[in-house]
Every structure is written in structure tokens, then in C-alpha cells.
Amino acid sequence: MLNISNRISINTIGGGGDGLTKIFTDYGFLNMWSTDNMLVSGTTTTLYDYAGEHDLVNPAAVNQPTFNATDSDFNNKPSIEYDGIAEYIQKAVSNYRTGDTDGVAIIVLNDVGGASRGAFNWSNAASEAYFAFGTTNNKAQYVKSNAVPLNSSATSAGSKVIGLSFDGVNGKSFEDGVEVTFGDTTAASGWLDLGTSLLTSGALIKSATLYYNTKVVFFGYMPFVSDAQTIALQNELKTYYGI
């Protein structure tokens, strides 16, 4: 059994503190996951929620992602890699964040296969509603249900920190600490009104499940405060993961 959950006590960002645990507290994350806070036990991989609320687990052995103990794409931090065929982790939930009118989703990934829309998402398999967040063709992408995908104007291969924020009126996309053009037309009343039943990483679960070949080290969700805060968070994550 490999237990790496205690790594959060030794990982640090320049200036002290206890790394990602400090980020969780400082930025008021509602839920946050990282490969510094996980357990691999046999054929089961568990990514622990820093909020102690929604731990993500592969439902069967065939769905277990590859664990990389050190990954040079992320400053030699551990990562998990999905094969784009069958691998993903998930947590069944009930109406996750339904009613939120603002928020920020952040993810740190390396889109190995060029498209990782399922890197972090909410979905309701019964209604086919979903909120998918990741990349396509090395561009940040956000898709709500079957609406036209919204892609950023920035194209960059390799590891990146991407984020989508919504302040109740306007949506914005950020990549590696810089705002990028992102034609978001989401209405404030519809930010996360999905009746979400699943949180997943590595796949988009609906009637026909879609899998994505990608490496992930961090993702989370927090309330919107300001663009400046979102940028500051991304810059801290860039430093931590050597991006």
C-alpha cells in the first residue's frame, strides 16, 4: 500500500507555510483535490478532498489511473494520468453547488492527448446535463451541457494552470495567471444549475461516457472574490508546480 497523504505536510511554497493546505485555507476553497493528498491502495486510488467532503475514487480496478510518484512536468510533484480509454475517479453527490451564482474552478493539468475536457467536471447522467472543464487542442475549454464549447484564444502545449470564473454576470478564463479571451455567455441564474449527481476527473459521465488522456495534479472550486485573487492563486500554483 502506498500512502502519500502526508506529503502535504512537507510541500512548501517559497515563503513558508505548508504548501497546498495553506492555499486551501488562504483562498477559501469550498472543495479542493491534489495528488499531494491521496492514497493508492492496491487497485484503488483515492483523491482526498481538503474540505473532507467529497473524496474521489476509481469505481473499479479497470478505472484506476496511473500514479506517477514524481513527474518532471510538474516540478517533480506526483501526478495521476488517465489513459483516455477507461480510467477515471468519481464521487456521487446530490445537487453539487446548485444555486451558486458565482464561483471559480481551477485545474492544473498536462493535456497529454491534446484534449482533456473531462479533467474536472460536474454531470447528471440521468438528465445529460454537465459542466466540463479542461482543454481541447491545447486551449482552455468550458462546455455546459450541449452548448457550443467556449475556447480560449491562448494555445499552449504542456503543463498549465487554467481557470474559469463567473462573478454573477460575466464569465472569464485565465491561463497561467493571465486573462485570456473567452466568449462566455452563461447567465448568472444558470451557473451551476445542473442537479449534479457526479463529480469526476478523467471522464465525462453521461449516457455515452467520454474518456480523456491527460495528467492532473490539482483541481478545486471556490467562491469568486476578484480577478486579482484568481490571478494570484494561479501564480502561486505556477510556482509550486514549476510551470
CA dist 116 and 210 (Å) reads 10
User: Do residues 214 and 134 lie in contact, with contact meaning Cβ atoms separated by under 8 Å?
Assistant: yes
The 3-state DSSP class for residue 238 equals helix
- Rounded CA-CA distance 213/202 in Å is 7
pLDDT in tens, the chain (243 residues): 334 443 333 333 333 346 899 999 999 999 999 999 999 999 999 999 999 999 999 999 999 999 999 999 999 999 999 999 999 999 999 888 888 888 998 999 987 766 566 688 888 777 777 777 766 665 666 666 655 555 555 555 678 898 888 888 877 888 889 887 665 545 434 576 677 788 999 988 877 888 888 899 999 999 999 999 999 999 999 999 999
Question: What is the domain-level CATH number for residue 197?
Answer: 2.60.120.200
HSE, CB side, 13 Å, CA atoms: give it for residue 200.
31
Structural domains counted in the chain: 1
Q: Classify 115 as helix, strand or coil.
A: strand
22-61 burial: b if 16+ Cβ within 10 Å, else e: bbbeebebbbbbbbbbbbbeeebbbbbbbeeebbbebeee
Q: Where in the sequence is the domain holding 110, given as residue range(s)?
A: 2-241
